Amino acid sequence: MLSPEELSRYSRNILLNEVKRNGQEKLKKSVVTVIGAGGLGSPALLYLGAAGVGNIRIIDSDIVDTTNLQRQIIFKHSDIGRSKSESASENLRSLNPYINVEGIQARLNAENAKDLLSGSDLVLEGSDNFDTKFLVNDICVREKTPFITAGVLRFEGMVMGVRPGKDACFRCVYENPPAPEHVPSCADAGVIGSMAGMIGAIQATESIQFLLSDSERDSGLFGKILQVDSKSMEFRTISTARREDCATCGTVH
Ligand SMILES: [Zn+2]
């Protein structure tokens, strides 16, 4: 049940035919886990929290660093040196005290991933490394948890949604993690902060629509990859195809 304060806070959502009061209550009951409170996680978390997604779990093992603040807008200058999961949770609660936010200071690995992601209606992956992206893919496919994975570098970004058993998974498309020396990171190649903001906001927008819809919705970024090149401001959407011999989802129906 939404309180009068919540009805007022979310009134611009509730005005939408696609949301209404029922949809807002659905968002309140939803559980979303965000992996990585970084350039993508920051805007995604702020928009999910502001929209009233009722249960948000934040997983990150890092500490806020000065170089993060150019794009990781959930943090303040005074958060430098603090745990990301803790300060992101605190800042999100102060934006919206009507939601539950749980910060977990941990690095996702093969041992803890199943537990840390359990109970999620949706997982958002916005980490800065391919090992985590593949791990999230493999666990979410096995547990049949829908997820939206995204990446950003320099002036470019990508987003991909996966409903396990229905859409191609990350491994159908990329097969194996590239060798680390072949993958530039934001730390050595740079990234435009607002570019991460754009991609993180797309993850949040897609999440909200996913949580509101039945999972049969045929639009959006599930079963697709969106590639954004902000230099040319070109947005390209490519449909993904499942591979029968995919090591992760080949046997998942
Ligand atoms: Zn696959």
Check if the beta carbon of residue 215 is closer than 8 Å to that of residue 163.
yes
Identity of the amino acid at 186: C
The ranges of the chain with pLDDT < 50 are none
Question: Using an 8 Å Cβ cutoff, are 64 and 78 in contact?
Answer: no
Q: What is the predicted pLDDT for the residue at 224?
A: 97
pLDDT at 105: 98
Residue 50, SS3? Answer: helix
Find the catalytic residue in 172, 186, 246, 249: 186
At residue 189, the pLDDT reads 86
- In this predicted structure, what is the pLDDT of residue 218? 65
Is the Cβ–Cβ distance between 164 and 248 less than 8 Å? no
Q: Tell me what pLDDT residue 215 has.
A: 55
Give the residue from 201, 211, 208, 108 showing the smallest Cα distance to 157: 201
Ligand 1 mean position, distance from CA 53 (Å) = 29
Q: Which residues pair with 59 in a beta bridge?
A: 35, 104
CA distance 27 to 153: 31
CATH of domain 4-239: 3.40.50.720
Which of 125, 144, 122, 121 lies closest to 134, judged by CA?
125
Q: Are strands 31-35 and 122-125 parallel, antiparallel or unpaired?
A: parallel
CA 174 – ligand 1 centroid, Å: 9
Q: What is the pLDDT of residues 7-64, one digit of tens each?
A: 999 999 999 999 999 999 999 999 999 999 999 999 999 999 999 999 999 999 999 9
State both tokens at 207: 């999440």
If you measure from the C-alpha of residue 167 to the centroid of ligand 1, how many angstroms do you get, rounded to a whole number? 8
Whether 186 is catalytic: yes
Query: What DSSP designation does 243 have?
Result: -
Report the pLDDT value the prediction gives residue 243, as an integer from 0 to 100: 94
Name 100's bridge partners. 55
Q: How far is ligand 1, taken at its centre, from the CA of residue 39, in Å?
A: 26
C-alpha 181/C-alpha 192 separation (Å) is 22
d(CA 156, CA 166): 27
